[in-house]
Chains A and B, each alone.
Chain A
Amino acid sequence: MSLGKPSRVRRAQLVANELEELAQRISRFPATLGQTVDDVEVWLCRTSRWAFGFEPTGLRPSLMLGRDQIGLRVLKDGKLGAASCTRFDESTWRGCVDQALAAATTTAGPSQFTAPRTRKPGPLTFDPDLCDAILAPGELHRMADAVVDNLRHEATRTPGLTAFGGHARYTLKRFVVGTRGGVCASIHGGVSAEVVLNRDHADTFHTVHNPESFQPLALLGVRTLRGRPTESASPRDLGLRGRVPVVLHPRAFEALLRRLVAPLMAGSSKQNTLGFREGDRVAHSAFTLVEDAGLDGLFSSRHFDDEGSPTRRNPLVMRGRLTQTLLPRGPNGQPGSAASYRHTLGTTEPQEVGPRPTASSLFVERGEVAFHELVAGLDKSLLVQSFMGLHGADPITTQFSSGVGTGVTLERGRESRLLAPGAWNVSGACLTLPGGVAGFLSDIVLSRELYDTGTAILPYCLTTLSV
């Protein structure tokens, strides 16, 4: 595929043909193994990426053309073995199968697997006539060029603007999962962009559908620039210390939910890892959290997971009560509620050790208060747009302490000053555990506005945290 030509329609045909060929070859492979295995599951992710970094000297291009990641799991006499490679080549796969088979048959332990977990033959979910995942990279190049040109121009005439950066990126992923039972395949494209000004203020753009207009992307730089407060403030300037009202931007809210709440909703029984049971109150009655890989328009949405099973909608918390635990599938093909993925969000590499139950797209139900009403009553507080390092978040207590990456002060109900870099730290806990500190999800007000982060749809969240 080239940057400028051929047209989007022609490109869609080329990608459709390529996906069909991948699916055909994967579907034929299990039969070539004869009786050496009882079954084999082949998972493929082919990634292409066109990226342009925004730098003071211009665009920095970076391309990745057709990078394959292939995971194989073999079943023999009730035992499962796994191997992986990055080469789309049947003889390499046969070598992987031999290695996986050797490990499976020499591993001690019960023979518990009766079938690989991919068993439902599915249709190709990609329809070239409907495909809007395809973007001519030339369009992205022209748009990125416009953004960086605009930023360079603004940098010369905007006092105080000393540095800018960011990127525009188009990623195309093809997923195929095949066994002797069948094959399923899909294609996912997405454009994302980010502009960062003076290393302390950022804005993002993303879409998984071909937009009718690229104007929002072209205007990203200007939007970021116009929305940037010119002054910054430290906790001392604001006189804030201790427990203070904090508004979590949906991106920051999602980061906390993904790291500390969604994983804890997974378990091997009706009781999850934190000890909550279904029906227990875990959050304020305004809080409803749904895991739904079928949400349209999100990078994290998929029709089938990395085991080839159809995904489903899982209400995790309804009006503050735990309604469902994400259960993995059983070894004998018992249905589970959790989808399993090799890629976890935020990582570039698949897990070497195979798919694991993971939350896909997240949805939090809206509140009843408009954002401006939410902040109108606050004399002094913070709007945290991103965290800087949630690595210290403790998954067994849901406590966290993190620096603030970007954010602004809310003074007299308005966005006022930037949060000085490296000067702000917020801490708290997400959930209230027996004997533990109170979780912030028990004390929240959610905005009426919903925000699409690219992997979740959430409202703004007003709560109280320690600063």
Chain B
Amino acid sequence: MVFRSDEGVGLRKKLLRAERRKKFEALGLIAPLLLVMLVFYFVPIAMMLFRSIDNSQMARILPQTSEAIQTWSGEGLPDEATYAAILGDMKIAYEEKTLAKAGRRLNFDLVGYHSLLLKTGRKVEQIVEPPYKETLIALDKKWGDVRYWTVMERGLKDTTMMYLLAAVDLRYDDDNKIVKVPEQEAIYISIISRTVYISLSITILTLILGFPVAYYMANAKPRTRNLLMIVLLLVFWTSLLVRTLSWILVLQNNGVVNNLLMFSGIISQPLDLVFNRFGVYVAMTHVLLPFMVLPLYSVMRAIPSDYVRAARSLGAKSITAFIRVYLPQTLPGIGAGALMVFIQALGYYITPALVGGPRDQMVSYFVAFFVNEQVNWSMASALGVTLLILTGSLYLIFGKRVNIANMKLG
């Protein structure tokens, strides 16, 4: 007996050791990729997230001021030393041509700061002796306005919530409280809700069109099924830009659709079918339809026809059997397809940019806009954060119910 248990322990140890070795092998095989992705993917994303609150450049441009302003209580104007500090900083920043950068940053918080800094910067050479405070206020009375100093103090901290707040139409007021921006300046909430609205509409459209297609394919003869699958996969594999281009050609004023409608006498003037919301819906539904059909189809293929037949034989009408017996079994497919389409649609940029009008652009477009046209990387990052939160929360809520890995490839 003792002998046997000894052997048992030895075997168990050996088994554990083998298991452990397998685990190390596994980790060793994954490690290179994980390392590459850490350095070239997760670190960059983390840096982008940080960028949306990073404000450290300001203290680098105006170092003395950032030191001096810490003694300021926030009530009334700062003391002479702070004015001396900002003069010194501006002198250097003007020569190094970084003053405009600081001006743009502060202008984002309070309009007028950019011109104030540049105007003062040009004359800063001439101010050589105290009292600096009075001279500056005499030069521009904005230097005697407490609001400008509140913004300066806020602007010299290492981090700022300003961009993230701006991305949801909020800002700091003169008393450092978070308030809504004036209605005529509020744009981002409407862009975010437009993005969600368009994505939701596309999801519903792909479901309406995708369900019958998947159902037909799942129940068709093998030859028909294969043929339709090839058509679907061909569309799936065709470049996004090719498909977008083809919709512009089909929907334009002298495109196929307008020509047919005019030829048949239904309309006398070409309809505006593209470069508006309609064009976005038509093209995006086309691009994303395969992502709905493929998971639906694979779920429907696995549904045995016995249940519906049983329901019918028990007296259910075909519509009842469909709704009460068949439809519930397709829910995993609907869930996977809808999540896939919705999340992809949220991040869409190219198709709306090419077939939509100015009022049909989504969050991604504005991220690119802030990088390419405004050169405001912080605001681009803040909008990126909202987009990431939007898609991330969807995963957290629905991702567990849907097998992500199997979604995309059908």
- Tell me whether A and B are bound partners: no
